[in-house]
A and B are shown apart, each in its own frame.
Chain A
Amino acid sequence: MDDAYKGKLAAAFREECTDILSELEISLLALEKNPEDIRLVSKIFRALHTIKGSGAMAGFNDISNFTHGIESIYDLVRNNKLPVTKHLIDITLKAGDYIERLLNTPDMTGEKESGDAILTEFKKIAGGTEETPGPPKNSLNGYSHSADKEKVSVFKIEFKPPENIFLRGLDPLSMIDELKDLGHIECRAYTDRIPDLTDINPELCYISWDITLTTDKNLNALKDIFIFIEDDSELNISEVKEKQSDLDTAGRLLKDPDSSKKKVLPKKTEKPASIRVGSDKLDSLVNLVGELIISQARLARISGENEIPGLRAVSEEIENLTAELRENAMKLRMIPIGDTFDRFQRLIRDLSNELHKDVKLKTIGGNTELDKNIMEHLHDPLVHLIRNCMDHGIEPLKQRRSAGKPETGSIIMKASYSGAYVLIEITDDGAGMDLNKLKETAIKKGILQGGNKLTETEIYNLVFEPGFSTAERITGLSGRGVGMDIVKRVIDSLDGSIMISTKKGKGTTITLKIPLTLAIIEGLLVRVGDRYFIIPLSAVKECFEYTGNNTFTEKKNILSLRGSLLPYINLRKFFDIRGTPPKFQQIVVARASDSLIGYIVDEVEGQYHTVIKSLGRIYRDLEGISGATILGDGTVALILDVLKLAQLAEQPA
């Protein structure tokens, strides 16, 4: 095995194992709620088995050996020899974390003890039963000839592996060898399906087997051997009741090899309805669609300028197709938010233990889909918000009791669509926010000047100020005054917004409004001189004519709009564009965070499908421009960063 191959194998295992671990976690949490669900136990067992097997194959022997110990425990659980307890789930979760650590830092030596400690825990649990998880293999090896130990049974196995078994890195002969380890086997191979030499494909398996196994092991031990391929093989395992009939059965099989085919299990059709595609491939597809939109805009322009018969129809057809393609391509990158929600079950469980608060998480609308790039950014803010709910929101048990609330606190995560946005609401039934306390803290920390009149919303928004925290004591979770401002910054950078509504004593709801996607946005195309700019349409509130008369004071760049003051930026001045402005300029009013800013432009051209292109590293320090797009005529237009521009405009000169 050369190193490159090894590296590839290891990378594939890391990816696979990470997926399995997160599924394992979900199964474990579900099992905690339904300890009787045998299907979940099987699922967990199968996950552990896969980690063990693939781990050994990919050279992660630490993981493989470690997982083996846990697998034995779940074998006991599966056979009803060990009950599902909270303690068991606890350490299994811990074990999952440990495997994940091993996965990412395979050569850590200091961690060995913590792994051993976990295994010792497991052994303690198993101590109550007659079977203890032994070191790898030994307990499985060897067919015991002592008749008094356990009952000996005979199994008849009809095994026809899928033709592509080798391509999956599995070897049927090694499976038969494993069977041999369980006891005494008689094996017959059927070679009738092997084609002529000219037609043979050496990478396929044409052989099927009938195997008679005499063993003291149970059915599960047998099934484990075929665990990786049982879904795709024709596999029929039946127990022959009396040992004497063994020979008869074998004899009958020998006579009539075809009889086995009548009894085969129907192929399970529980195949996943999805395939795994590298996200870089999706990104490049979306990029290509972006290019196509740009080319299409050019075509539309040319067809508009030249009256060529037929061209217009084709151009419009391509426009429709492009729009449809764009929608489909964007959908490919959408992933349901449910996976992200599920990950919080674990967080809440851990925090419940840590804070001694009993809290249940309920999720609604897990099918709601978001662009995966956005989802990645959303994880940390959500973690922070949940932590806040747990730490500040939900009261300690005593307080809940005296308030007449149910002892178990509740946190609800809900996702729903709202136009081109997704709303994510996080609701707790905790203590809510105290307006006066918020105000006091803000004044004490110097964020707010005393005597200022603020609306309710403005007071709630104080929590987004850097350095703000009302927690009386600092815990590992919150109260350090970092966090909410960062949450807001992330949400702002995604072009989203965040709202708080709270009732003292009843609870708090925090609503995040997140755009569905970031790669292609709707923009408003504006012109200044011969230069074009895009203002994100989601931010635009209104447009009106600017005559210069309604300027409140030219010096301060503020004008009055229906009685209130509107700060504005003259783009011509700001971007230093030469030429004289037309007599009637336009003002585009755009919302930035919680303030409004006007932009003075020569002309508003209209709505534009904007494919966002990065300006690249050379411009990484540039402020006020968030990217660029390519217009129908091939020139580049800059996309205004309305948030940053608003901040620049608000800075005192």
Chain B
Amino acid sequence: MNNTETASTNQYLTFMLGEETFAANVIYIREVLEVLPVTKVPRTPKFILGVVNVRGNVVPVIDMRLKFDMSEQETTADSAIIVMEIYFDGEPVTIGALVDAVNEVLEIEKDKIEKPPRIGMRIGNEIIEGIGKHEDRFIIILNMNRLFAPDELAIAVNDHRNKETNERFS
């Protein structure tokens, strides 16, 4: 899968989820938008909120809080949708990531990034590229290409359907 991994720079866009600071390499980032009205798409995993209209294109939005098993929360004036282009199944797709707030673009040198610890992490290890250090803060750097685990979407859809088909048609 190395060929689909995007070459990265050392610039990162940082954003907040709850109290924690996360970062994604700027090569994924297309733009940052205010929160738009989301059209829910039924029978999909809960962390996929629905779709929004980004200048005439229909773009799915991921709730990053829900993705990382944090509590659901109303959006605020600081909330934002980060539009990114990531690789999914070897092909580029555009997605929006709903986050609590967008901070800034930072430069983090490669040697300031450490491998993620093996234990004590709430989020699945595979999506974390490393832990960066910037002015005494720790920043969790995400590999957005691994946002979706290989079969996460298919299985989630199926689970959802099996569970709910019965009640919806009864």
A interface, CB within 8 angstroms of B = 290-291, 294, 531, 555, 557, 573-576, 613-625, 628, 630, 634-638, 648-649, 651, 653
Contact = CB atoms under 8 A, between A and B. Distances in A.
- Considering residues B44, B88, B158, B168, which has the most beta carbons from chain A within 10 angstroms of its beta carbon? B168
The secondary-structure label for the interface of chain B is mixed
A619 B39 contact: no
A635 B58 contact: no
A617 B91 contact: yes
B39 A622 contact: no
Interface string B33-62: 000010111111000101111001111100
Given A615-B60, A618-B48, A622-B44, 5 more contacts: A291-B56, A619-B44, A621-B154, A635-B53, A637-B39
A613 B42 contact: no
Contacts of A623: 43, 161
Given A573-B168, A621-B158, A636 B51 contact: yes
Interface of B: 37, 39-44, 48, 50-53, 56-60, 88-89, 91, 93-95, 148, 153-154, 157-158, 161, 164-166, 168-170
A622 B160 CA distance: 11
A620 B112 CA distance: 39
Top 5 closest pairs, chain A to chain B, by CB: A636-B39, A575-B42, A291-B56, A653-B169, A621-B157
Contacts, number: 85
B39 A638 contact: yes
Given A573-B168, A649-B169, A619 B60 contact: yes
A576 B43 CA distance: 9
Contacts of B94: 616
Contacts of B157: 621-622
A628 B51 CA distance: 9
Contact of B41 (A574, A614, A615): A615
A299 to B, nearest CB: 14
A628 B58 contact: yes
A620 B93 CA distance: 12
- Considering residues A615, A619, A624, A649, which has the most beta carbons from chain B within 10 angstroms of its beta carbon? A619
B153 A630 contact: no
Contacts of B39: 531, 628, 635-638
Contacts of B37: 634-635
A318 to B, nearest CB: 17
A649 B170 CA distance: 10
A637 B58 CA distance: 10
15 contacts: A531-B39, A557-B169, A575-B40, A576-B164, A617-B91, A617-B93, A618-B153, A619-B41, A625-B42, A634-B53, A637-B39, A638-B41, A648-B169, A653-B165, A653-B170
Nearest to A627: B58
B43 to A, nearest CB: 7
Given A635-B53, A636-B53, A616 B60 contact: yes
B47 to A, nearest CB: 11
B168 A622 contact: no
- Considering residues A576, A618, A623, A653, which has the most beta carbons from chain B within 10 angstroms of its beta carbon? A618
Contacts of A617: 88-89, 91, 93
Contact of B56 (A576, A615, A630, A648): A630
A622 B170 CA distance: 21
A653 B88 contact: no
Contact of B95 (A618, A620, A622, A637): A618
Nearest to B156: A621
Contacts of B51: 615, 628, 636
B42 A574 contact: yes
A531 B37 CA distance: 11
B42 A624 contact: yes
Contacts of A291: 56
Contacts of B165: 648, 651, 653
- Considering residues B44, B57, B58, B165, which has the most beta carbons from chain A within 10 angstroms of its beta carbon? B58
B58 A616 contact: yes
Given A615-B58, A615-B60, A618-B48, A576 B153 contact: no
A617 B153 CA distance: 10
Contacts of A576: 42, 164, 168
A35 B37 CA distance: 68
Given A616-B93, A635-B53, A622 B43 contact: yes
A615 to B, nearest CB: 6
Nearest to B62: A618
A621 B60 CA distance: 14
A653 B158 CA distance: 16
Contact of A653 (B59, B60, B95, B166): B166
A575 B42 CA distance: 5
Contacts of A616: 58-60, 93-94
Contacts of A634: 37, 53
A623 B95 CA distance: 20
A618 B41 CA distance: 11
Nearest to A555: B170
A208 B156 CA distance: 74
B33 to A, nearest CB: 13
Nearest to B154: A621
A344 B169 CA distance: 46
B138 to A, nearest CB: 30
Contacts of A637: 39
A55 to B, nearest CB: 33
A37 B166 CA distance: 69
B41 A625 contact: yes
Contacts of B44: 619, 622
